[in-house]
Amino acid sequence: ARADYMIFGGGTLRKTVAGKAHQHGLSVAEFTVNTQRRFARALRYGVDAIITDNPASLLTLRLQQK
């Protein structure tokens, strides 16, 4: 069996690890992201999924970046 995702929580995600995961064809997710700072960091790191208790704040940040 092969993994498709690496899921990180509690601020443990590192940019280098996310990059290596993507190089190996893995998707990267982070949980539970609830602050603007962590939203922005997750987006900078190129995560494929963000798990949050506050989706409206994440959507607002995404719209501001466009």
What are the beta bridge partners of residue 50?
A: 30
Q: How far apart are CA 20 and CA 26, in angstroms?
A: 9
Residue 28 contacts residue 46 (beta carbons within 8 Å)? yes
Amino acid at 3: A
Q: Is the confidence at residue 66, as pLDDT, over 80?
A: no
> Please, which pLDDT band fits residue 62 given cuts at 50, 70 and 90?
confident
Q: Is the confidence at residue 60, as pLDDT, over 90?
A: no
Q: How far apart are CA 33 and CA 35, in angstroms?
A: 6
Q: How far apart are CA 64 and CA 66, in angstroms?
A: 6
Answer with the residue of higher pLDDT: 58 or 25: 25
What are the beta bridge partners of residue 9?
A: 31
Q: Is the confidence at residue 48, as pLDDT, over 90?
A: yes
Please state the pTM of the whole predicted model. 0.84
